[in-house]
Structure 1
Amino acid sequence: MKYLLGLFYWLITPAVILVLAAIVKSYLIYSHRVARERKLFHSAIDSDNYEGRHFVQMSLLLGVLGSLVSLVAGVTVPLSLVVIYPIVALILLVILPQSVTLLTLLVTIALVAFEPTNLAGSLTAWLTRWGYQANSLNLVGTLGLVTIIVGCLAFFVRRNAGQHLSPKIEFNKRKTMIAVYPFNELSVVPLLVLVPGNWFSVHLPWWPLLNLGGHSVALVGLPLVIGLGLTVKHSLPTAFFQRLGKQLTWLALLGTVLTIVCRFFANWSLWSLLAYLIVGIILVATNIIYDRQQEFSNSQVMNGIRIIGIQPNSPAAKMNLVVGDVILEVNGQKVTNEDDFYKALITNATYCHLKVRDRNDQLKVTETAIFQGAAHEIGIKVFPENAK
């Protein structure tokens, strides 16, 4: 009976609930995207649940790589962080529309580092009553952990963001339709970290402990939410996320340097840690501002029709086309709207010849075979006539 009770209490811990909530949110992101695409275009641009596939792939890959780096570097974090992080992550995952990797870390570390024990019922005070000692706080190890997480986020963005473009329709002040491109994916990385073993030896004597530099430490799994949620409005989405991914990679390298420096100057650790997280948040914010300041937008045009989506594994995917290009002619006929586009396509049941103007006002010509008698399956998505 006691084992069943133990299993029950384990299943309702914040860490397990966080993983389940992240899985549910990932599925909701997928279903919402497909529903939006079907409403706009009568069929999904990509009905594959790539959000779920990326969730699993990143969880496994980053879990293994991150844990190896964590253990080889001997990253030691306080027990309070292991307990508080899943609670903060779960709250932010529910109340905020986007996944918030860096904000979750900032809130968690602020709670752990500044110890608001004067507040009745605070989490750190609760931990103290259960035997946690504040002097076990390891800021250098926590900085190392944050650096690993930023590295995971950089890999996540460079690997996934901008690979699948799903447009949303907005309207500018002139009531002209504009295509914007949201990216909102996440994963949970099961990271193995080292925690000082004092609490475990007293309250969980059966927990296996390791000896590291004369100190006993416990090996503990920490589920970390990795992801990003933002909308690209003016930039080419693929280029935007490549730029952001490179900057996050440099930020991870900066964190590595700071972690090494703080091993020799421990007094700098707290402010280095908080400043590092704030710099990360500012980095993401400045990229959003950079996108908003660009003059180009994927808007409707008078002469031609703009491509706002391309289905994978379709004839269009094999052509030299990019989201944002403007189709001027189809099979020798000028087009200005969706109806013109499909009427021109059916003039040749098996072949498609396009004259296109790209984002830099350069003309190009491209052509491909299409499915016989199914011109609507060419895979090019343009502004729908009935969007509201």
Structure 2
Amino acid sequence: MDLEWLKEFGLGLLWVFAQPLLYIAIAFTFWTGYYRVKNDRKMFGHRVFPIGAEWHGTMWLGIMFGVILSTSLILSGSLLNYQWLLLISTIVFVFALSNQIWLLSPIYTIGLALIGVWLFGKFSAEPNAWFSPLLEVDLVLISFLLTSLVIAEVILIRLTKRNKTFPEMKKGDRGKYIGGHHVKRLMMVPFFVPVPNGVLELSMFNWWPMFSISDTFGLMLFPFIIGYSQRFGGSFSEIGAKRTSNALAILALVLVGGSVAVYFYPEWTIALGIIAIAGRALIHGVTHYLDLEKRSIFTPKQDGIIVVGIIPGSPADEMGIHIGEKIEKIHDIEVTNEHEFYEVMSDHRTFCKLAVRDFNGEIRFVQRALYEGEYHELGLIFVKETPRFTLKTEEIS
């Protein structure tokens, strides 16, 4: 028995290389990363974060949820078939083609699949060799799977950090540049899916299987992709993301209750899917609207320069400067825009001393020796603004 389980886990791990989602994730990483870096070079003249930064810090979180979800599916006898896995993979692939990470929320990917299969079962006149197996899986199971992955999305959003979001620049209504941050996070939740017609069984549990389409099962590792994307300018990115996660947590509680209701009233499945998708879209839209209503944090100031972004590993990063702080002086000379900043730096190429006003309104001084060429590569990103004057004057001959 132990050897059979060990063999099935090994075969299940190998199945991941046959999953379309694995290759979709790899291709999507390079695609979305390429366009982000391209926009960075256009806005700032250089790359800020490397390709693949959207996945930063999510690997162990995804594995943890994968272990919990795998255990829950196996012990409850929640079997899925290949048609369901292929349907979910197809929806993710179509959404990935749009390069819109926010569409990779499990509410959209699994929710649409749930609604589509319910409608097919309700209105299909003739059985279909490919679609009919989709109806063999209890939609109550799909609703619980949806709810579980939404909880994973809530925690993914909750763990957003300001220094790991992507700075952006755009022109405001008055023609001046304003800054903002784009939160883009991707996480893979690899979990073992029990599939029918294997050699394993859990006969020691009286309740097993709860959602049966077979008395025996095999295992297949399924790399589910979760994505979150939202722009913030009126509030710091991690604060906006926490508000989003709070709202999504409330929706997740509603879905938990809805999943229990669907267990007793399967005909409510369509309502659960609609509530999930409408609720997620409402959260995204209201968050965007409320942020637009606020005055942007990253706008030109008369008494200093707001730091919009910091390149990881740069001198500015090593000096402990934080996004959203304001640089008021460099070498005791007041500066109000990027042009003035680098004019002063061009006269002090071996040393940097900055007066920085922190979030408590207090001034602190940071300094660092600079190596050759570092004076114009400090790693600071400011709001671009045409200088009102220049600190240098030309000599009249």
Shorter-chain TM-score: which interval? 0.7 to 0.9
Aligned to 2:67: 64
- Residue 97 (str. 1) matches residue 96 (str. 2): no
Against the structure 1 CA distance between its residues 59 and 230, is the aligned structure 2 distance closer, same or farther, given a 3 Å change threshold? same
Unmatched 5+ stretches in structure 1: 1-10, 201-206
What residue in structure 2 maps to residue 143 of structure 1? 143
Change in Cα spacing, 1:225 to 1:133, as seen in structure 2 (3 Å) is: closer
User: Over residues 224-282 of structure 1, what are the superposed CA-to-partner deviations in whole Å (9 max), with x where a residue is unaligned?
Assistant: 22111232232211211122234434444443444345445555444234423432332
The share of aligned pairs that are identical, in percent, is 19
**Corresponding position of 1:3:** none
**SS, match of residue 159 in structure 2:** helix
Does 1:208 find its partner at 2:207? Answer: no
When structure 1 is superposed on structure 2, of 338-347 and 22-31 the one drifting more is 338-347
- Cα offsets for 1:188-211 (capped at 9, x unmatched): 43332345x4xx4xxxxxx33535
What pairs up with 1:1-388 in 2 under 5 angstroms? Answer: 16-47=19-50, 49-51=52-54, 53-54=56-57, 57=60, 59-77=62-80, 80-100=83-103, 101=105, 102-115=107-120, 125-128=128-131, 132=133, 134=135, 136-160=136-160, 162-194=162-194, 197=196, 200=197, 207-208=198-199, 210=201, 212-213=208-209, 215=212, 216=215, 218=217, 219-264=219-264, 266=266, 268-317=268-317, 321-345=321-345, 346-347=347-348, 349-356=350-357, 362-372=361-371, 374-384=374-384
- Tell me by how many angstroms 1:82 deviates: 2.7
| Residues in 2 aligned to 1:66 and 1:22: alpha-carbon distance in whole angstroms | 20
Q: What's the TM-score once normalised by structure 1's chain length?
A: 0.77
Task: Determine the C-alpha separation between the residues in 2 that align with 1:254 and 1:72.
Answer: 25
Alignment partner, residue 5 of structure 2:
none
Amino acid in the other structure paired with 2:97: V
The letter for the 1-side match of 2:337 is N
SS of residue matched to 1:125:
coil
Report the AA paired with residue 154 of structure 1.
V
Give the drift of 1:335.
0.9
Counterpart Cα distance in 2 of 1:49 and 1:370: 31
Which amino acid is 1:306 matched to? I
- The match for 1:7 is none
Distance in 1, Cα, partners of 2:290 & 2:298: 16
CA distance in 2, matches of 1:247, 1:67: 27
Q: Classify 1:14/1:94 alpha carbon distance in 2 versus 1 (closer, same or farther; 3 Å).
A: farther
Measured after TM superposition, the shift of residue 333 of structure 1 is 0.8
| Matches of 1:289 and 1:14, distance apart in 2 | 41
Between the aligned partners of 2:31 and 2:305, the Cα distance in structure 1 is 32
Checking the alignment, whether the CA contact within 8 Å between 1:306 and 1:327 is kept in structure 2 is yes
RMSD of the alignment, in Å?
3.6
Number of residue pairs the alignment of both structures matches: 359
**What's 1:8 paired with?**
none
Can you list the C-alpha shifts for 1:366-386, whole angstroms capped at 9, x where unaligned?
A: 323242553334332213469
The offset of 1:309, in angstroms, is 0.9
- Give, in whole Å, the separation in 1 of the partners of 2:301 and 2:146: 45
Structure 2: how far apart are the matches of 1:140 and 1:44? 46
> Contact between 1:300 and 1:306, CA under 8 Å: does it hold in 2?
yes
Q: CA deviation at 1:108?
A: 0.9
Q: TM-score, normalised by structure 2?
A: 0.76
Matched residue SS, 2:92:
helix
Helix, strand or coil at the partner of 2:376: helix
1:127 partner SS? coil
Deviation at 1:168, TM superposition (A): 1.9
SS in 1 for 2:86: helix
Asked if the contact 1:162–1:237 (Cα under 8 Å) also holds between the matched residues in 2, the reply is yes
